[in-house]
Amino acid sequence: MPQHPKRVQVVDFGPRLNKPNVIVGVPEAGLVGTIACSYIVEQLKLEERGYIDSDFMPPVMVVHDSGARYPMHIFGKDNLVVIISEVPLAGRLSFEVAKEVAAWAKSTKAELVVGVTGAPSRAREEAQGDGKSTVVGVGNDETSLQALQTSGALPFQDGVMTGFYASLLKYLMKERQSGAVLLAESLGQFPDPGASVSIIEALNPLLSLKVDSNALLKEAEGIRLRTRELMQQTQQAQQPAAPQNGGSSAYR
Amino acid sequence: MAIDDYSEGGRDDIDRLFPGLFRPLGGSLFDEGPKGLHPLSKVDVSAEFVTVTFDVPGVDRDDVTVTCTDDTVSIEAEMRKSFRSGGPGRSESSFEYVRYSRRIQLPVSVDPDKGTAKFKNGIIVIKLPRRDQGKTVKISGDQAKNKSGK
């Protein structure tokens, strides 16, 4: 029986990794994961070491300084890898990317894979995005659950997750790869850098990082302006029926 | 009012934080009116209210004007600093915005005289009571029969 070619390719041209920690951020509620990941990349001066491409990807290339680049990037330094998407992942693309990221992480013998995202919350909407957010964590095995205890994130005791991060956890479990998802209470439809700060504050102890989040808070207004177009695209990608269309949610 | 620029100082800081990521490619930004950036918005309709929320980072409360009619909500807001959105050939073709401007057509009729608005953290929430609130309909039927289980 002929084998189907992979529909998603993870291309990593960086130096060999040895049990890295991997952080994954894709555009979802409040762009919390993408804002947090981009900030970490810049603060820790991580270098681009690969990209993810797919037949299911919309016809988008990102242009930076006149050079065309894939919209899903892999950055890294030492044993930290950050994967960021600059396009929303809808429909089949969402779970195909999750599947290949899980397989790739397993191939690197990753220590822990951490998805970071926002979870729209009424409390956050009522606070109008002001102040910090509560962060909850979900792990897929004993190792990740133990690790999450160092993050300060509250346990996500019972509930349902859908979308990209649910797929990521599922495929990490299939690969027997330790994984976790941190969800910060966030605005649903507006960029929420404050929630990204809360994510970074949970990641610091979890992965022994030293990322100073002060500049992110200071530049929050400009970041909200700069990311509004991606937020619009993300809203469109998640409508009308979020779960079927690749949008994510988590609720208790 | 002195207008600074996110592209000089502020914008440079942001570029350091986000080197190249999320840079708009032009696209829909060409559709916007000169100097009037469309803010992100959302409309929630409940049984009693229509709530319209605008994301207007970089403005002060006193620089926001909200106008409501029976079926529209409009916002005009002046930015503290202008925002330069990089289009293709960023330095030559970028657009500079000094204010937000948007009018939203509401899906149901509202009473603009009874509206309230609150502003915090560059987000404005406008709550308007619906005019066409539904009335509870009494349901008749064989309730007694069901209750008795016969």
What token pair was written down for A17? 């990794």
**Out of A65, A84, A219, closest to residue B14 by CB:** A219
Cα angle value A26/A199/B60 (rounded, 5°): 90
Best residue in B7, B55, B94, B95 for a mutation probing chain A (most A CBs within 10 Å)? B55
Q: Which residues of B39-75 are buried (b: 16+ CB within 10 A; e: fewer)?
A: bbbbeeeeeebbebbbbbbbbeeebbebebeeeebeb
Q: What is the least distance, in Å, from the CA of B126 to any CA of chain A?
A: 12
- Which residues have a Cβ under 8 Å from the Cβ of A35 and sit 6 or more positions away? A25, A191, A192, A193, A196, A216, A223, A227
Cα angle value B41/A218/A67 (rounded, 5°): 75
* Torsion angles phi and psi, residue A14, rounded to 5: -85, 175
Q: What is residue A2's predicted lDDT score, i.e. its pLDDT?
A: 54
Q: Which residues does chain A have with pLDDT short of 70?
A: 1-6, 239-252
> What residues of chain B lie within 8 A of the CB of A86, using their CB?
21-22
CB contact under 8 A, B23 and A228: no
- pLDDT tens, residue by residue, A78-94: 999 999 998 888 888 88
Nearest to B63 by CA among B91, B7, B101, B30: B101
Put simply, whether B46 touches A (Cβ < 8 Å) is no
The residue of chain A nearest to residue B39, with distances taken between CA atoms, is A228
Q: What is residue B22's predicted lDDT score, i.e. its pLDDT?
A: 53
Q: Which residues pair with A223 in a beta bridge?
A: none
The residue of chain B nearest to residue A87, with distances taken between CA atoms, is B22
Report how far residue A203's alpha carbon sits from residue B122's, in angstroms, rounded to the nearest whole number: 27
* Angle of helix A32-43 versus helix A193-207 axis, rounded to 10: 60
**Out of A65, A190, A222, closest to residue B55 by CB:** A190
Q: What is residue B107's predicted lDDT score, i.e. its pLDDT?
A: 92
- pLDDT tens, residue by residue, A91-136: 888 889 999 999 999 999 999 999 999 999 999 998 888 888 999 9
Q: What is residue B24's predicted lDDT score, i.e. its pLDDT?
A: 45
Q: Which of residues 52-91 of B touch A (CB under 8 A)?
A: 53, 55, 57-58, 83, 88
Report how far residue B36's alpha carbon sits from residue A88's, in angstroms, rounded to the nearest whole number: 26
Q: What is residue B40's predicted lDDT score, i.e. its pLDDT?
A: 93
- pLDDT tens, residue by residue, A29-44: 999 999 999 999 999 9
Report how far residue B26's alpha carbon sits from residue A131's, in angstroms, rounded to the nearest whole number: 32
Best residue in B5, B23, B31, B40 for a mutation probing chain A (most A CBs within 10 Å)? B40
DSSP, collapsed to helix, strand or coil, labels residue B123 as strand
Q: Is A179 exposed, middle or buried (0-12, 13-18, 19+ CB in 10 A)?
A: buried
Nearest to A17 by CA among A47, A62, A61: A47
Q: Which residues does chain B have with pLDDT short of 50?
A: 1-17, 19-20, 23-32, 87-93, 149-150
**Cα distances (angstroms) measured from residue A100 to each of A54, A158, A192, B53, B109:** 10, 27, 28, 38, 49
A106 and A175 Cβ atoms separated by less than 8 Å:
yes
Q: What is residue B35's predicted lDDT score, i.e. its pLDDT?
A: 62
ipTM of this complex prediction, to 2 decimal places: 0.82
Question: Quick count: other Cβ atoms within 10 Å of Cβ A62?
Answer: 18
The residue of chain B nearest to residue A188, with distances taken between CA atoms, is B42
Nearest to A32 by CA among A180, A200, A170: A200
Report how far residue A44's alpha carbon sits from residue B112's, in angstroms, rounded to the nearest whole number: 50
Cα angle value A108/A28/A93 (rounded, 5°): 60
**Out of A38, A190, A215, closest to residue B40 by CB:** A190
